[in-house]
């Protein structure tokens, strides 16, 4: 718990001292789009790669 509080305090101090603003909505849009596209591609890659699991497609 002490490390968690220290991390929160450090993050707050770094963002307030260096005036780092929150990411824009465009940033979160692209992060969401990348996540939404990477999940099915990763799942398909997992299913097609026979080295990772036993069984038929």
* 1-57 per-position pLDDT tens digit: 999 999 999 988 888 887 777 788 999 999 999 999 999 999 998 888 766 666 655
Number of helices and strands in the chain (H, E): 2, 0
Alpha-carbon span 2 to 6, nearest angstrom? 6
Handedness of CA 10, 14, 16, 21 (dihedral sign): negative
* pLDDT of amino acid 26: 93
Contact yes or no for 22/12 (Cβ under 8 A): no
Flag whether the pTM goes above 0.75.
Answer: no
């Amino acid at each position: 718990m002490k490390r968690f509080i220290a991390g929160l305090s450090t993050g707050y101090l770094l963002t307030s001292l260096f005036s780092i603003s929150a990411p824009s909505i465009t940033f979160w849009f692209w992060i969401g789009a990348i996540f939404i596209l990477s999940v099915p591609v990763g799942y398909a890659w997992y299913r097609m790669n026979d080295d990772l699991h036993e069984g038929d497609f």
